[in-house]
Chains A and B, each alone.
Chain A
Amino acid sequence: MSPRRTDTGGRIDRLKTIRFTFDGVAYTGHAGDTLASALLAKGVTLFGRSFKYHRPRGLLTAGVEEPNALVTVLKGEVREPNIPATMVEIHDGLVAISQNRFPSLAWDVNAVNQLGGKILSAGFYYKTFMGPVIGPLKGTRFWMFCEHFIRRAAGLGSAGSAKDPARYERMNAFCDVLVVGSGPAGLMAAKAAADQGARVMLADLEPRFGGSTNWSGETIDGAPAAEWARRTVTQLQGRDNVRLLPRTTVWGYYDNNTLAALERVSDHKEQPAKGEPRHRYWAIRARSVVLATGAFERPLVFPGNDRPGVMLAHAAERYVNEFGVLSGERIALFTNNDSAYRAAVALKKAGAAIVAIADVRSELSAEMRKLATEAEAEVLAGHAVVATEGGKAVSGIKVQRFDMLTGALTGDERSIHADCLLMSGGWSPTIHLASQAGAKAEWNAARQAFLPPKPTQQWPTQQWIGAGAFTGSFSTAEAIAEGRAAGLAAAGGTSTPAALPTVEALPGDPDPAPVFEIRAKGKSFVDFQHDVTAEDVRLAHREGFVSVEHLKRYTTLGMATDQGKSSNVPGLAIMAEALSKPIPEVGTTRFRPPFAPVSIGSLAAERFGDLKPERLTPMHDWHLANGATMYSAGLWYRPMIYGLSGETIEQAYVREAKATRESAGIVDVSTLGKIAVQGPDAATFLDRVYTNMFSTLAVGKARYGLMLREDGFAFDDGTTWRLGEQDFLMTTTTANAGKVMQHLEYFLDVIWPELKVHVTSVTDEWAGAAIGGPKARQILAACVTDTAVDNATLPFMGIVRGEIAGVPVMICRLSFSGEMAFEVYSGAGHGTHVWEALIETGKPFGLVTYGLEALGTMRIEKGHVTGAEIDGRTTARDLHLDWMLSKKKPFIGSAMMDREGLIASDRLELVGLIALDNRPLNGGAHIVEALDEANPHGSIGHITACCYSPALGKHIALALVEGGKARHGTRAHVSDPLRNRFGPVEIVSNHFYDPEGTRMHG
């Protein structure tokens, strides 16, 4: 029995008991515990199985960098895998399970992978599965065969498939100073900046602010450091210019000091409060950034360094001081630097026996020897640990005399009985955010670490100020001084006269000995999470991987969810040694976002679930109440059909179209883009924008217009109404409304700034109802007041103003359906009122409502084009709209539209198709001259739109076909192998129905 809860000490509340389960076993912990500390307190040392070899693994760390103890947290049906147990705050009802084990954590059959260690070495997958042909199995096919088994054996936790009911939100935040990290440096920076009146945000990924003060055992201003931190936080809390963000990981650093952070709002609660999100994604725009992110302790690389019970020295110190948990009874330490001695003293004080301190250095300072004496520990200077013993937990270690200059191990191995081994390989500043911001880290030989560069070498759009351990200043006194200076500088302030807080701390040299690995027999792990050993790194080197970026990808070193937080520098050091190069010449890889895993839900935020914006027409609710089946067209919702019970979609649209052509039909056209074009130069502008003339259009008349792009291709079409001398109402297709608006704005702002024209989107101002059919005029005449609607008053393309049911309306006589038709516009807020009045009036005339399907059917019958034909590849000529190309004036696209390729005779042109086998056609189907079902080829075009035509009694389509008109009257075939639809068609004019337009001119 080794780890246990101490009777006193720690920042947990022993009076509050919390119940949770791990792998189905019930445990208790205390408020303030993490899953890691609570389980460790109960003597649990085995937390997971390793990635490749399924080796038993325990806690290496106490924080976010934990590579081993990854668990899956279950909340109802939802499972979240790969969370470090060190980051899970326990709460009543918490259910966590271990990962990558089968059938159980203690008895894992895949642990035999350890025996085949050679086979699974670096590059195993590449070599095995991209190699030569082995019998009938090519590399890739062999891979597919094996993948199933390997994926099951290797890996981390499995993702859930249940719908996540949690709420995620995004917050946009602005501040003068963002401080990342709330250790002594961060707290001082936040306080100094806040004292200057700056708007400050302070974020820390831990639930408890204070960083190392929570476990260092030091004294600040005469009080325990944690007490000082708590007081400082309380002061900050009371200020309205400070926002504190605990449990918030700043994970991305982008241009212009835009930072991304993840706040875990309610993961630590049994239930979130009503409306409370699980995670908040903070997008923070900071004028200045203070990076006080501290440093990570590094493991040492030696055989058996991954056995449960081998832990980082500071982690044990943290467990005992912050959580009141002793990680062992008989503790040995192995170090290359002074910081481990403080841990020894702390653990001794808490009741553990310190059996030995193996230090790679042969010369030790008197101060360290004094601390060792205080810890009643045997000091083994010039020694190294060469092996650990035990099964699922450490039971002992072996040490040997070690020469740190040559790396040689001499003398006999000596066994020491211990149930916990703490190691310290020095410290690496947490420079991830600075690295993301483009900073090139600099190797510091004394600290044996990459330090952030001077501010002058920073990327121009991301400027930060560093403080504390982040800069390589590892003492608390330095952190306090640097923190205050950084906070002042970030807030643009100058020095303050007040004295700095005083610190009482144990002595220690911040510089470690340059020792990263002890080369002895056995597996020595560099990257614990991806099971990369020191030998893997050397193997990669032997196989020719020289660049550190290649090494990383070949071995996968540092590519696991912990992103190599603890393995990066040891890996580089081993690589450097293999290359016989100094570390700075090998270089470091650039860290990329995210610093720690981010929930996808938080990135989707309010777009998650049903909250995507939708656009509704003024008559939307009427459509729903009257049996419409809605169809989403872009963001808009439009009626597709108003089906009667038992009707199929085809039956419904055929009925609707037929009734419209026989009596009258009404359709909601409010979604058409509408742009007010106003000003003295409006007519001139429209002449330039459209291919045809608009300056000649009389007030009170409308005209159909076509726009081209600058490159001469067709862009959009629609009618534009002249409401006044300087006042036009342009309509666009629904889909292109936004694009046309931007097109107009661009030309007015950039190309023709001299034109006095304003364009405004008025799409939403108007409700539009198109009423068409032989009875349409009679219906209007029966309900419109204040104006006549006869042929003289309202000729084709004429506009009148009047009233319907007491509401002002604007009526334009134009037709998309080919029938005599009118578009009735009213204020959007009166849309339903007018719509209902029209329908009520129309009842005796047999008026029907129709949807998009019938609308599409009637336009195909008429051969009108829409976005399916104006697809960005067709020209006006291709669509037989060349009659609209004015020769009297230049217009947008006129200079480019006559290019060789755009007037070639083999271009695809708009035609009509009739299915000769009387079967439905499919959009997108190819047209061929000769059918070859076995080997479809020789496409001469494709179908853009198709329907059953009630007017013709046939299945018809519009198509773009090579040669176009020249093929009218000839036969071809549809060839649609995807949908297995082949058959003969006749190519005809696109004007199927009433080509002379007698019906609409009436």
Chain B
Amino acid sequence: MAKEVTKLVHEYLRHDKKFPHVWCPGCGNGIVLGALIRAIDRLGLEKDEIVLASGIGCSGRMPVYADFNTLHTTHGRCLTFATGVKLANPALTVITVMGDGDATAIGGNHFIHAARRNLDLTAIIINNQIYGMTGGQFSPTTPYGSHASTARYGHIEHAFSISELAVTAGASFVARATVYHATLIEDMIKKSIENGGFGVVEVISNCHTEYGRRNNMADPVTMLQWMKEHAVTVEKAGKMSPEELAGKFTVGVLADVKKPVYTEEYEKIRKRAGAPKAGERA
């Protein structure tokens, strides 16, 4: 059984951080933070062993509230910092949280290469289909035809599918959830950490302030309703025709495979090069 909320709050949120947080009331980011904390609690990980790193954006403000080793990096570059942390101390559990713009526009190159390398860390991507923090400009996941502060006549570009991109790039674990499916997020984060390779958990989230407002979904409830209506589980989608699936997206596990993990491979290289054992290293 999950601990009561207050217990988790006391245990995992920072006592010395001045609240309130920076997010708009009803923002999906808080739901993701809650799911992350529950997943970590269920895994029984030590707070000292966790590094939570983020990029820049509303999503990027998450680490400051959590009582881990936290790192708020530069826009799009969070995975590169996380790579250094993980390689310098593979005993740490490294989790990154990024926005859709952060991870797939400015940080797109780092994202596909981290997946290809199969570095053992988990990348949570909060996909609210917009640049929230900077005021609603379109992102690589903004749907065709929708409106953004830099797409006043309707968006003419086509959206990335983040999870499918991650699968193609070689991530060991890939899953999608939405902030409507809060317990699914928690399960997927837990599974991703357990996989032990590069894991991606894409969470479709609501930015009613910057996206919803411009696209006839000005409040969080309407946006969550939309998620509920358009999400189809991977299992169910397998039995549906392409026509039935039009306009829908899948939630659940999209990839869960075992591949050689970077840190383990590198340890083998050290052995081949004749390195002294970990304890004896100069």
A, B in one complex: no
B: residues with CB less than 8 A from A are none
